[in-house]
């Protein structure tokens, strides 16, 4: 099996170690491989979406990134039915978007949030 090297900060390493212990993985590598498999499966599932869909998009981000959220969301008013914004602890925000429309537009919106590099969490759930 080829070896791939990459850098992680201490916080991520601690979280991987917690997952490893909590889920019973044999080591960090197996934990990371499982996470990568989940990401690939989720990506494939989203790529297969076509036509009109309903979805929920959840974001968690630092409060100071509200302007990024606002900028991106205004590009997608054609698929936004509802938005819920909530302030969390530690200057974090949660945004929940109820979406309806073209699968390609909804995927594009989620991808822009992911690609911004400023979101702590981005999850697209398709109904």
pLDDT for the residue numbered 50: 84
CATH topology of domain 51-126: Alpha-Beta Plaits (3.30.70)
pTM for this one?
A: 0.73
Q: Are 33 and 3 in contact (CB under 8 A)?
A: no
Burial of 94-103, coded b for 16+ CB within 10 Å and e otherwise, reads ebebebebbb
pLDDT for the residue numbered 49: 78
pLDDT in tens, the chain (127 residues): 888 888 999 999 999 999 999 999 999 999 999 999 988 887 787 777 789 999 999 999 999 999 999 999 999 999 999 999 999 999 999 999 999 999 999 999 999 999 999 999 999 999 8
């Amino acid at each position: 099996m080829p070896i791939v090297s990459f850098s992680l900060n201490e916080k991520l390493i601690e979280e991987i170690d917690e997952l490893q212990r909590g889920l019973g993985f044999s080591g960090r590598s197996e934990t990371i491989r499982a996470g990568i498999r989940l990401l690939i499966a989720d990506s494939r599932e989203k790529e297969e979406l076509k036509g009109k869909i309903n979805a929920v998009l959840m974001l968690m981000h630092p409060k100071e990134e509200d302007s990024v959220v606002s900028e991106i969301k205004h590009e997608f008013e054609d698929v936004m039915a509802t938005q819920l914004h909530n302030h969390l602890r530690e200057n974090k925000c949660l945004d929940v978007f109820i979406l309806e429309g073209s699968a390609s537009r909804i995927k594009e919106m989620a991808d822009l949030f992911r690609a911004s590099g400023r979101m702590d969490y981005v999850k697209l759930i398709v109904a």
